[in-house]
Structure 1
Amino acid sequence: MKYTIALIGIWFLSLSGWAQELSSPDGYFEMKFQLLPDGTPSYQLDYKGQTIIKTSKLGLELKEEKKSLLDNFKILDTETSTYNETWKPVWGEEAEITNHYNELLVKLQQEETESLLNIRFRLFDDGLGFRYEFPQQKNLTYFVIKEERTEFAMNGDHTAFWIPGDYDTQEYDYMETKLSEIRSHMKEAITPNASQQTFSDTGVQTSLMMKTDDGIYINLHEAALVDYSTMHLNLDDDTMTFQSWLTPDANGDKGYIQAPAHSPWRTIIVSDDARDILNSKLTLNLNEPSKIEDTSWIKPMKYVGVWWEMITGKSTWNYTDEFPSVKLGETDFENAKPNGKHAANTAHVKEYIDFAAENGFDGVLVEGWNVGWEDWFGKSKDDVFDFVTPYPDFDVEEIENYANSKGVQMIMHHETSSSVRNYERHMDTAYQFMNKYNYPAVKSGYVGDILPRGEYHYGQWLVNHYLYALKKAADYHIMVNAHEAVRPTGLSRTWPNLIGNESARGTEYQAFGGSKPNHVTVLPFTRLIGGPMDYTPGIFEMDISKLNPDNKSHLNATIANQLALYVTMYSPLQMAADLPENYRRFPDAFQFIKDVAVDWDKTEYLEAEPGDYITVARQAKGTNNWFVGNVNGVTPRTTNIKLDFLEKGKKYIATIYADAKDAHYKTNPQAYKITTKTVTSKSNLKLYSAPGGGFAISIIEKK
């Protein structure tokens, strides 16, 4: 690790009061801080001489109005510094990451209350991060946030890729509109979900992606969300100014703070090249280094699972249809009549284990193995699962012994039904159970309204729970893949056992009526800014009625598109989500899923445009092999790819999985062609992507 730190005091007097300027290491960004005439803190951000964020106010409104941290401030001191390091992630898109920024710390004091507030700015070559810091002090020790009043004043009516602001879910399809059109499209954007609570006609969620009329890309998000409420953005569409909007608790309060403390970082990533947004490591860099010293047990995985057949309605999670309600420890499952559709049975799970072993997969996920699924959802039921008691047809020991004999690891499933108190009561026992039966990873779920009642998925109380579960899992050397949890903010750097999240509209919605065909061209610019997503790709049978005649849904993607997702939707935890029998129908296409890596040494974003297309090349960890993926929106296009990222002087075998000329996500999704050719760093490839399609390429060094 290399780093340098320099401390320099810089400030100058402006007409509106004391003001400071901060430049990025490459000089392209300039951030200006000043106190407005009434003592309100404010900032402005410029990129290559163009104002990106106009003068925007900073501060917090507290529940005790007289103590609000909004105005009447004076500057006590400022400090500037430079930091430059290179660090190695446990897993990731790159073997090494550069963390280089210039920093400005502004120390403020309120005139009347004498309360102290610090604002720390870090300016990178790809954007700005800033946060509020509350020093130890007598005048402000315990306080309640009524609302954070951070502003992001846009310099125009930009095109935005957004989903509705919601305290409980991110599982929406993205809208593409002008900022001024958010209000008129909000009703259209709000689609049904198991748990949801929107708050405004102009409220949207981060990570928010925008593009200006003159081709500047802007991304707003947050980093290092710890012991604080999740931030949404509420737009004043008269002034085109976003203001932070925190998720409340059951009492309507937005956060309970005990000084010394600090907020999460508010982040602004900017570039005139969309690829730079995808390549930004600003979010990770604003998180603390790993708190896990021995990370040898944290290993990326590729897995299959007993899941998609339940999602489509072919099979069930519940074992029996006899019980209208279940009480743990009292309901007699041993003498119950099986419904005949329960997928998590010993014989069927062994079939998945065999399939995993035959095809080189690391693990098998099984959902619906434990008692309680008969009445798990929508009952506001506290004692819903115990996470250790299997159904009569699931033999835990036999399954584990069989998996071990095949060299396959089992992946645990903990659906909490959002009964968070119940999960915390059982957590140690559940993790001990996993250790006993050698489960290295858990997929946790938080479907439905939160218990305790009135709390939201993205409030401070739940944010703390997710981290509690993650830390507790680390104690037991368990990796966590949390679904329906708060969207990630780079915490996987600090806790690298957070190997995956859902926290967005994943593949399952393709069985619930479908997602937009360009959905996967937006997610890397939005949801993935904070960390990898367990998107569960790899569906080969797009007509869901062939699995369940009662389900008329249709996947809005081609097979080539589904293959490309293993490269474009980065995750160290990747699932081959379809049924084994569907992969056996297309063994030549399935080969790419078997071959593709899940951990990388280097990533090259070759082309990108949010909502339209993304093409990515990645070098597999510890090898000289590369994999390329392209996902396309609704407009067919031809891509010219230069392979100049390959090592010079080497020859490679490229296997290209591409859309056929007549492929189309709606009318001909299973039409693809596979070609093989020898390539070098001087080679160019001209490839066609159908509507909702794409291509995938494995490039293996020729020995």
Structure 2
Amino acid sequence: MKNKLIEVHLVLVSIGMVFLFASCNITKKSPYVASKNGLNKITLSLNENGELFYNVTRRDSILISDSPLGLYCDDQNFTSGLSIAEISSMEERRETYDLKVGHYKNIDHVFNGRSITFKNSADASMIIDLIAGEEGVAFRYRFPDEGGQPRIVKDEKTGFHIERDAKAWLQPYNSAGQYTPGYEDFYLNVNSGDSIQGARNPSVGWCMPALFHVNDQKNWILIAETGHDGMFSGCHLQADSEGGLYKVAFAKEDERYTLPLEEKENAYPTSNLPWAMPWRAIIIGDQAGDILLSTLITDLAPASKIEDTSWIEPGKASWSWWSHPDDHSPAIYKEFTDLADTFGFEYTLFDAGWEKANQEGGIIDHAIAKGIKPMVWGYSASYFDSESRKKRFRELADMGVKAVKIDFWCSDRQEVMAALQSVFEDAANEKLMINLHGSTMPRGWHRTWPNFMTAESVLGTESYFYEPRFPEKAAEQNTVLPFTRNVAGPTDYTPFALTMRQYPRVNTAVHELATAMIYTSGIIHFADSKQVFDGLPVAVKHLFKEMPATWDKTECIVAEPGKAIILSRREGAKAYIVGINGGDQEMSVKLDLAKYGKGFSKFSVITEGEDPLMEFKTETYPITADWSYTMAPKGGFIIQFVE
């Protein structure tokens, strides 16, 4: 009997040891999420100190090596002593929606996702949500607890560990100033880990989105932020990226030059609980074109909060400021309204100084009588206070205004990010569309608020007035920004701009015209004078009238950031191919026009004229499967398929 009791005891101990060993394996295993096609994968891990890391792979090759995660809060520490409390089951998530502005109108993407709950040494919970799809992976932090005092995040440990000497296109995040941060610097071609050199202004870090060519240049990744609902500060990457580790940094407390913001010792993100933070998205592609066409940023943004969007219409606009910056007379505004009418533009923008011109000359009524939708400029501080903003929007809507360009935000502080959400909402309540200038980078907001049509956040054509290096670098930048800035959201580059300014243009006229079809903007604000528009050849005038402001389908034919970009664009029955050369040397291209021009018998091509800087040439040919063309240095071409 005694021996049997001993045997039973040994069996129970053995079973217990098995369960204990299995339990240890559960707590130590690395939770992950992979896309349905198995290509993209994000994996979490804990070290012996309970510090949290992740890595990202594609086809099992490392794209982002072990990188830190974790949050240090005023009341809790989630940077060490962590353990896994729960791993949810894998769930499929489908995002189906329409975009008013984009490379595509209809989006339908499937993701895998799961949530991992961690406990710290004080038994407090932090959740990491993971997502993986065909276009990349993403993660976000979440605090599930309810009630209590607002929580302050004093530091975020999140980093992105990029391999040594990987090539990158990064934009400096400018220090606070009268016009900064406004995401209006050059994207610099650097190696992973390089310090900031050559910025336009003193800088404290790198902007997101940040583009890297990784895995021995087999893959491209774009690091971005999305799903921002105003409950967190806008973030950038720290300047110190020693060893290629790019860490997340919060907005700075001194970003308050243009807004009535409270002076603070810090600008830490703060919120009541529960609290879901923005997604850190890593867009992945084998080609740079995969990055350009990705909708991961809008896939992870909240769904549209506007039920009826029928009143929101993309279009083209005339704009007097670029050609007549000091003329605020009723006559000049009316001249550009008439220009919009002549070219079939839907909108005209009345920039700074429009109020006096309207009082003296009725410029808004003139536009409405012509069937042109008026847009007006405003200063950010006038739209920061909730009650003042709502009152002003009502007044503008009653006047017949259809859209508002609000300028000089120059801050990523949490109060500003929250205010922008309210701007979109209050404007939608009055059926007004919004254009942001001097502002933070969009973060998928054109899905959540389809009345958000475009934003500056770019070193655009106004730089011919202000930046001596812009003419030489503009062509290169025009082949980088579609893979970086424009992936984040619609871009108000204010294209065309042929008249020579303080810093004379060196891009060809066709290159400048092509940017209107390379960049995506819900309302395209064309720069330059009535005289320039009136002097255009008939074929170019026709293109201006026919050119869409948004697209049903886009394909990337050539995608070489900093060198060249060629896109196939379709909208309804209209089909185009547009290309630009970002370099100083000629570039030969060979295209199968039969593939992209199905249903058409001929194509019209706009190229450089006798004076490449100011003139155009247009020719029409039968469609061929092997069309060859040599792009001029800093040149371009536009093909329109015709029946």
CA distance, structure 2, for counterparts of residue 600 and residue 163 of structure 1: 27
CA distance, structure 1, for counterparts of residue 342 and residue 83 of structure 2: 68
Q: Match for 2:191: what amino acid?
A: K
In structure 2, do the counterparts of structure 1 residues 52 and 187 end up closer, same or farther at CA, with 3 Å as the change threshold? closer
Task: Say yes or no: does 1:256 pair with 2:282.
Answer: no
Given candidates 597, 607, 616, the residue that maps to 1:658 is: 607
Q: What pairs with 1:33-44 in structure 2 (closer than 5 Å)? A: 33-44=44-55
The Cα of 1:136 is off from its aligned counterpart by 2.1
Equivalent position of 1:221 in the other structure:
224
Equivalent position of 2:479 in the other structure:
521
Contact 1:145-1:253 at 8 Å conserved across structures? no
CA distance, structure 2, for counterparts of residue 396 and residue 469 of structure 1: 29
The Cα of 1:91 is off from its aligned counterpart by 3.8
In structure 2, do the counterparts of structure 1 residues 87 and 396 end up closer, same or farther at CA, with 3 Å as the change threshold? farther
The Cα of 1:613 is off from its aligned counterpart by 0.9
The Cα of 1:641 is off from its aligned counterpart by 1.8
Equivalent position of 1:387 in the other structure:
none
Equivalent position of 1:152 in the other structure:
160
Q: Secondary structure at the match of 1:430?
A: helix
Q: Secondary structure at the match of 2:446?
A: coil
Equivalent position of 2:582 in the other structure:
633
Q: Deviations over 1:365-415 (max 9, x none)?
A: 111335xxxxxxxxxxxxxxxxxxx32x43377323322232211111112
Contact 2:520-2:550 at 8 Å conserved across structures? no
Given candidates 155, 174, 188, the residue that maps to 1:166 is: 174
Contact 2:600-2:641 at 8 Å conserved across structures? no
The Cα of 1:141 is off from its aligned counterpart by 4.7
Equivalent position of 1:319 in the other structure:
none
CA distance, structure 2, for counterparts of residue 284 and residue 632 of structure 1: 29
Q: Match for 2:454: what amino acid?
A: G
Contact 1:596-1:627 at 8 Å conserved across structures? no
The Cα of 1:164 is off from its aligned counterpart by 1.3
Aligned pair count reads 598
Contact 1:500-1:571 at 8 Å conserved across structures? yes
CA distance, structure 1, for counterparts of residue 343 and residue 458 of structure 2: 29
Contact 2:135-2:284 at 8 Å conserved across structures? yes
Task: Say yes or no: does 1:78 pair with 2:83.
Answer: no
CA distance, structure 1, for counterparts of residue 411 and residue 241 of structure 2: 27
The Cα of 1:62 is off from its aligned counterpart by 2.0
CA distance, structure 2, for counterparts of residue 573 and residue 175 of structure 1: 28
Q: Match for 1:60: what amino acid?
A: L
Deviating above 6 A after TM superposition, structure 1's stretches of 4 or more consecutive aligned residues are none
Equivalent position of 1:27 in the other structure:
38
Q: Secondary structure at the match of 2:552?
A: strand
In structure 2, do the counterparts of structure 1 residues 204 and 14 end up closer, same or farther at CA, with 3 Å as the change threshold? farther
CA distance, structure 1, for counterparts of residue 339 and residue 111 of structure 2: 48
CA distance, structure 1, for counterparts of residue 524 and residue 401 of structure 2: 17
Contact 2:306-2:449 at 8 Å conserved across structures? yes
Given candidates 527, 533, 540, the residue that maps to 2:498 is: 540
Given candidates 452, 458, 465, the residue that maps to 2:412 is: 458
Q: Match for 2:398: what amino acid?
A: K
The Cα of 1:71 is off from its aligned counterpart by 1.3
The Cα of 1:237 is off from its aligned counterpart by 4.2
Equivalent position of 2:103 in the other structure:
93
CA distance, structure 1, for counterparts of residue 615 and residue 315 of structure 2: 29
Q: What pairs with 1:29-428 in structure 2 (closer than 5 Å)? A: 29-64=40-75, 67-79=76-88, 80-111=90-121, 113-137=122-146, 141-166=149-174, 168-180=181-193, 182-183=194-195, 186-189=196-199, 191-192=200-201, 198-199=203-204, 203-212=205-214, 213-226=216-229, 227-234=231-238, 236-249=240-253, 250-310=264-324, 315-316=325-326, 343-370=327-354, 390-391=355-356, 393-395=357-359, 398-416=362-380, 418=381, 421=384, 424=386, 426-428=388-390
CA RMSD in angstroms, aligned pairs only: 2.2
Equivalent position of 1:583 in the other structure:
533
The Cα of 1:443 is off from its aligned counterpart by 0.9
CA distance, structure 1, for counterparts of residue 52 and residue 251 of structure 2: 23
Contact 1:566-1:629 at 8 Å conserved across structures? no
The Cα of 1:425 is off from its aligned counterpart by 5.2
The Cα of 1:640 is off from its aligned counterpart by 1.4
Q: Match for 2:336: what amino acid?
A: Y
CA distance, structure 1, for counterparts of residue 24 and residue 233 of structure 2: 36
Contact 2:250-2:268 at 8 Å conserved across structures? yes
In structure 2, do the counterparts of structure 1 residues 141 and 117 end up closer, same or farther at CA, with 3 Å as the change threshold? farther
Contact 1:109-1:116 at 8 Å conserved across structures? yes
Given candidates 391, 407, 411, the residue that maps to 1:429 is: 391
Gaps of 5+ in 2: 1-21, 176-180, 254-263
Q: Secondary structure at the match of 1:188?
A: coil
CA distance, structure 1, for counterparts of residue 23 and residue 505 of structure 2: 59
CA distance, structure 2, for counterparts of residue 12 and residue 569 of structure 1: 53
As a proportion of its length, which structure holds more helix?
A: 2
Q: Deviations over 1:181-239 (max 9, x none)?
A: x32xx2422x24xxxx632xxx2111001113433211111112222111111255442
Q: What pairs with 1:422-501 in structure 2 (closer than 5 Å)? A: 424=386, 426-446=388-408, 457-501=411-455
Q: Deviations over 1:18-72 (max 9, x none)?
A: 32132111111122112221112221111112101111111112245xx222111
Q: Match for 1:440: what amino acid?
A: K
The Cα of 1:15 is off from its aligned counterpart by 10
The Cα of 1:293 is off from its aligned counterpart by 0.3
CA distance, structure 1, for counterparts of residue 173 and residue 211 of structure 2: 14
Equivalent position of 2:13 in the other structure:
none
CA distance, structure 1, for counterparts of residue 359 and residue 465 of structure 2: 30
In structure 2, do the counterparts of structure 1 residues 22 and 365 end up closer, same or farther at CA, with 3 Å as the change threshold? same
The Cα of 1:84 is off from its aligned counterpart by 3.0
The worse-fitting range, judged by mean Cα deviation, of 511-520 and 465-474 is 511-520
TM-score (norm 1): 0.81
TM-score (norm 2): 0.88
Contact 2:404-2:432 at 8 Å conserved across structures? yes
Q: Match for 1:558: what amino acid?
A: T
The worse-fitting range, judged by mean Cα deviation, of 13-22 and 124-133 is 13-22
